[in-house]
Structure 1
């Protein structure tokens, strides 16, 4: 399992190879995002899943999904905080 920190969140993901009945391969990637700082009681880890024909493709897609989710959540949080200060 690969783990790293991105903007205060811990990203974890794993890519596995699956053999298809026709003889080909499919790569399954599962990942999760966990908030590390002052964890609120209501925040639960969020899980994601993707499949791709190549290992590097599956790895790229899961990382992109996880990082885009974090960017979206942070943008939403900052917009809400900005609205409260008005």
Structure 2
């Protein structure tokens, strides 16, 4: 019984040692980071792009209407086939 207790203490000590090494490795990486690696802040506040402005080509349709209708029909047919297959599988 005493040997079992010693084995458990040894395992606990090994686990504690491994965790110490793992946490030590993470902290050394954080310590290597410096403020010199970060970019400088902009000198003028408000230099962000306006959120409400859209690109000029947003008004044009990307897909022509006839191709869009064809794609929508193909997607609807695929959805219907999957619904029938799911119903048959039950």
TM-score interval w.r.t. the shorter chain?
Answer: 0.3 to 0.5
Query: Which has a greater percent of helix?
Result: 2
Query: Which has a greater percent of strand?
Result: 1
TM-score, normalised via structure 2 length: 0.35
TM-score, normalised via structure 1 length: 0.36
The structure showing larger relative contact order (alpha-carbon pairs under 8 Å, at least 6 residues apart) is 1
**Which has the greater radius of gyration?**
2
